[in-house]
């Protein structure tokens, strides 16, 4: 029965990988160090052993995948606490080259309250470089518990792919 479920799940999931950046998928996720508006640092080692759903965006692109974010928040909220503690929802904004960091830190804090999760800043641009994110776009990356990138896409996610992304998460969480 497990084998049939796995095969059916792959049949649903594989089409989304045709849109994903195959250069990153299947490779170990690069290390990172980012900082919130409250000066809380987060590094890759802090999230190791957990499934990571990462949105890396610029300020201008943060609404591009709003529907996906809302759907994934509902999906997350529907999970039991035992699952939730093994998932990291990570929002990162490219803050490289910011002149008035105090204003950006305040904006990160304010937007973190609105979104209900801590939004971190990539202040050096190292994460953008290492993850090969596309500038001025919404980048969606899913990393499994072993630290391997399982999904990577830059741009607007189509409605039909949201179900496939949730199916992928189901296979990674259970």
* Cα–Cα distance, 167 to 142 (Å, whole number): 12
pLDDT computed for residue 21 by the predictor: 52
pLDDT computed for residue 1 by the predictor: 52
Find residue 154's DSSP bridge partners.
Answer: 139
Sites in the chain below the pLDDT cut of 70: 1-22
From the list 41, 73, 61, 88, the residue with the least C-alpha distance to 153 is 61
pLDDT computed for residue 38 by the predictor: 92
Q: Using alpha carbons, list the distances in angstroms from residue 145 to 39, 148, 169.
A: 26, 7, 11
Question: How distant is the alpha carbon of residue 134 from its chain centre?
Answer: 14
What tens digit of pLDDT does each residue of 19-54 get?
Answer: 445 689 999 999 999 999 999 999 999 999 999 999
pLDDT computed for residue 3 by the predictor: 45
From the list 88, 94, 97, the residue with the least C-alpha distance to 35 is 94
């Amino acid at each position: 029965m497990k084998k049939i479920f796995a095969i059916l799940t792959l049949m649903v999931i594989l089409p989304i990988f045709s849109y994903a950046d195959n250069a990153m998928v299947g490779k170990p996720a690069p290390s990172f160090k980012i900082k919130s508006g409250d000066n809380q640092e987060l590094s890759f080692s802090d999230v190791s052993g957990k499934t990571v759903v990462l949105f890396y965006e610029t300020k201008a692109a943060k609404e591009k995948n709003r529907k996906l974010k809302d759907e994934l928040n509902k999906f997350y909220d529907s999970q039991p606490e035992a699952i939730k503690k093994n998932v990291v929802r990570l929002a990162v904004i490219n803050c490289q080259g910011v002149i008035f960091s105090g204003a950006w830190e305040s904006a990160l804090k304010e937007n973190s309250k609105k979104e209900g999760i801590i939004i971190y800043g990539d202040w050096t641009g190292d994460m953008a470089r290492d993850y090969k994110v596309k500038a001025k776009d919404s980048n969606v990356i899913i990393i499994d518990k072993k630290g391997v990138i399982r999904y990577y896409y830059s741009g607007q996610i189509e409605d039909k792919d949201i179900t496939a992304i949730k199916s992928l998460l189901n296979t990674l969480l259970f």
